[in-house]
Structure 1
Amino acid sequence: MQWVNQILRRIPVWAVYLLGVLPAPWLFYQALTGGLGVEPIEALEHRYGELALQLLIAVLAISPLRRFLGLNLLKFRRALGVLTFTYVGLHLLVWLVLDVQVPSQIWADIVKRPYITVGMAAFVLMLPLAVTSNNLSVRKLGPRWRSLQRLVFPAAVLGGLHYVMLAKGFQIEPLVYLSLIVGLLLLRVPFAGLLTRPHEADSA
């Protein structure tokens, strides 16, 4: 795995940001030109949300990959986290601006529709993570910054649950996403830690 890590060290973080953000305008263009089917707004909202979950799973996978396989992707974790929040924000904006549109209906939907309530709770938990995803916050908060980052765990579970609740009928894909999230979180419990060497432990 050392040779893979050597290659990864040569990849600049800005490349992850660039590659990660490219799908956003492309999907929007597809929605405008009919490339997302007969319900482009719903499809665009779904695609942005799905990308957010995929990136979130990638964030959660970084520490287990390092512990169990020796694959070091830590330098990309912040970039993937920022990209995750970006797509969550786009997912929310499509819902607010293009889907609901009526301001008075927004709060009613949040209160009355459980899957929206759960999704908004996940978004609220991710807000402080996004606001503090900079070097200044790391310095100012000190050890509290690492504790704050653990909000990603409940946010991830709520995000996966939001997808499952949103699905119409029985669908395997949302369950796969939720299972991956739960599985990656279970790798952080004490019995999983027994499989690693002490110096390899990583809190997030």
Structure 2
Amino acid sequence: MSNTFLTPSYHWRNRYLLMRHGHSQANAQGKIISSPERGLANYGLSEQGEQQLTDALAQWHWPIPTQVVHSDFLRTTHTAARVAEVFGLPMAQEVRLRERYFGELEGKADSHYPQVWALDAQSADHTQWQVEPVSRVAARMCAALEALEQRFTGETVLVVSHGDPLQILLTALAEKPLTQHREQPALLPASITLVGG
């Protein structure tokens, strides 16, 4: 993984609005949906998630996005589409922004998350239950941002992804140990964090 822009002195070419998708059907059902086989075509936004986006767009106080890039999962695609429609923007998929893969826990209750996070706090490289390690998530998320930095200059890019990957990315950008990613403030559904610019 290149660390070209992961230092406080880095001069960003763009601003990034890092957005977690709205409340999803998987959230509503308390399920872990992290595989492309399940997440690309199913488990879009819940009614609550749709309302969260309606509220967020009605009260928008962020810089106006000029580009929209998103994970290709259905819940992130739906979220990105709502924002893109309001601001009249095209959308671009980026597979490196996908949900963290939770391996053998796929489809199981989301009450398993704390067990994974407890192991994350001990090692950013663990693969218990064939879960995607934090270090790999950080590498692909940082690579996605680096690619956008190379592609655009002077843009405000809305990046729509998932809770765990975004918290891991923010931990990496802050130059903190990746084992501390759960110490980041929790990213609520449909929330936005401004980075760069």
Shared fold, TM over 0.5: no
TM-score range, shorter chain: under 0.3
More strand by percentage: 2
TM-score, normalised relative to structure 1: 0.26
Larger Rg: 1
More helix by percentage: 1
Greater RCO (CA < 8 Å, at least 6 residues apart): 2
